[in-house]
Amino acid sequence: MRSSTSLRTRLALLIALLIVMMSWIFGAFISKDFAARLRGSAGFELAELAHQMGDRLDRDMSARASVLKVMAELDVLSQPDAREQQQRIIDQLQNGMGEVAWLGLLSPDGTVRVASQRILEGVNIAQRPVYIQGKEGMFIGDVHEAVLLASLLPNPSGEPMKFVDISLPIEGADGQLLGVLAAHLSWGWAAEVSRSLLNPAQQRRSVEFFVLSAEGTVLLGPEEWVGESLAPLLEAKDEASGINRRVVEWGGPQAGSYLTGIARADGHADYPGLNWTVIARQPLALADEPAKELQRDIVIVGSALAVVFAFVGWLASRRLTRSLNQIARAADKLADGKPAEIPVIKGIRELEILSSSIRHLVAALGQQENKLGEMSEMALTDRLTGLANRAGFESYLRMHDRNSPMALLFLDLDGFKQVNDQLGHAAGDELLKLVAERLRSKVREGDLLVRLGGDEFVMVLNIRPEELEIIARQIAARTLSALGTPMLIAGEETKVGCSIGGAFWPADGQTTEEVLAKADRALYKAKGSGKHQAVFTTDV
């Protein structure tokens, strides 16, 4: 009796220990791998959010400047005796654009002639940059405080009011200065933009935006950070791409480790931008929380299974130990990372349940790892075209043999903006998909196609050294021919073409960044020489 009881107890403990060990080993391995991939994906998302924020701010500023430019061309604003009409136009524009805190029409000597809500009318502001710069041409000033104007405008929050200036001259047909149209935009719209970009999940995970001036001073961010300098972060930023993501140890308020994405706001259309930098950050502990939750879930499920299987083992008799040992040995191999399959036990219901449950556990863990692999693949692929994205390009270059030559063809579509403007963004997206299909037909197995963003593509060609330049030029010529053929977009025949800049590794640089930069300069040369042609570094 003692022997039978001892055997069952030991069998139950063995099974429980085996399952718990498998849970810990698989949990630790999968969570570690998942955490690394999650950080990469989350970092890329933060960098993309920072880029979207900067692009949105630039687009908004460009749109406001365009509205004022159109307004400045109205004949009625240049007529001194049309004050009532001018007042009505200014009031209507301010009412329609909530972010315009103040809008005024200045006389040639800098006196406010007409203003929204009649604020500052009759006051001479000839010494202010908004007049001094505005009478010379379009002026867009950086964020600043306006003490005089702030005291005259409603301020329910009580916080210091900040503004962005836009001004431009009103000129007669002979170029004579007839006045200056000036506007103060409330900086509060930038905070609204940041809130609109964050979805509820990102808000729960404490994602924060910082907008920095060209000198690195915080213009927008958590209240305790406004006015502080983050210049060291800008100095460490990747100047080649203008975008960066990494773990940063933050000091100051709420010091700690943060997953940080950084991007430049480099203007939009004719608006050159104010050299702002946008930072999106998230506490590293929150970024890693899904991986920790996964590890906890694996341990909990494994522990629960250990209890169930221990009870089944306790019920088993001595003649079952041989089958159980087979299962244990297979599980040990799996825990050691060796290929093995849990045996299927037939004939005894308890053993059938045991073997089946462990097989399901291994299958579920394998499926989880496959899902992680799929998530990693998605992070490296451009969603629109299915080509590699910038992250995939960087991953490919990291694994590339430094001694193996290759050619880089930097492509930029000619006329893509006109298609977007005339047919809409949906047509532009369809055009990019067709371009990707045609590019696929021009590369060989082992080559890489990349969409860097917008209408920029890169072809990475792995060619034998003795044929490197010849084949690269042949592929460039075929690509020009393929993209020069009209495409049917939105029911209309559309022709865009492209320009190509070519460079060679390692002849054109010791790093891939240098080679890509030279390819970019060759592309610029191709654009400047009439477009729809290929220029290589050996041609320059």
For 150-182, the pLDDT digits (tens) are 666 665 555 667 778 888 898 888 888 888 888
Could you tell me which residues come within 8 angstroms of residue 333 by beta carbon, excluding any fewer than 6 positions away?
Answer: 339, 340
- The tokens for 470 are 């010849």
Query: Per residue in 246-301, pLDDT tens?
Result: 777 777 777 788 888 888 888 777 777 778 888 888 887 777 776 666 667 666 76
| Known catalytic membership, residue 455 | yes
Is 42:259 a contact under the CB 8 Å cutoff? yes
| Coil/strand/helix, residue 502 | strand
**Is residue 241 pLDDT above 50, yes or no?**
no
Q: What is the value of pTM for the model shown?
A: 0.48
ω into 129 cis (within 30 of 0): no
56-65, 247-256, 341-350, 383-392: the lowest-pLDDT one: 341-350
Parallel, antiparallel or unpaired: strands 139-140 and 492-494: unpaired
The answer to whether the beta carbons of residues 111 and 85 sit under 8 Å apart is: no
User: What number of CA atoms fall less than 13 Å from residue 8's CA on the CB side?
Assistant: 10
> Which residue(s) pair with 164 in the sheet?
185
**48-57, 203-212, 301-310, range with greatest mean pLDDT:** 48-57
Average pLDDT, stretch 114-123? 85
The per-residue pLDDT for range 79-108, each reduced to its tens digit, is: 888 888 888 888 888 787 777 878 888 888
Would you say how long the chain is, in residues? Answer: 540
Asked if 315 and 324 touch (Cβ cutoff 8 Å), the reply is: no
Q: Which two tokens stand for residue 209?
A: 């935006």
pLDDT at 24: 64
Question: pLDDT category, 35, cuts 50, 70, 90?
Answer: low
Q: pLDDT value at position 475?
A: 92
**Model pLDDT for residues 191-210, shown as the tens digit of each residue:** 777 777 766 656 666 788 88
Mean pLDDT over each residue of the chain, to the nearest integer:
77
Please enumerate in sequence order all residues whose Cβ is within 8 A of that of 173, keeping only pairs 6 or more positions apart, or say none.
Answer: none
Q: Assess whether pLDDT exceeds 60 at residue 376.
A: no
pLDDT digits 0-9 by tens, 483-514: 888 888 877 888 888 999 999 988 888 887 88
- Residue 270, classed as helix, strand or coil, is coil
Say how many C-beta atoms besides its own lie within 10 A of residue 137's C-beta. 9
* Residues 6+ away with beta carbon under 8 Å from 252: 224, 225, 228
Annotated catalytic residue: which of 60, 455, 508, 520? 455
Give the gyration radius of the chain's Cα atoms: 32
CA 351 vs. chain centroid, Å, equals 51
Could you give the domains of the chain? 80-190 (3.30.450.20), 390-536 (3.30.70.270)
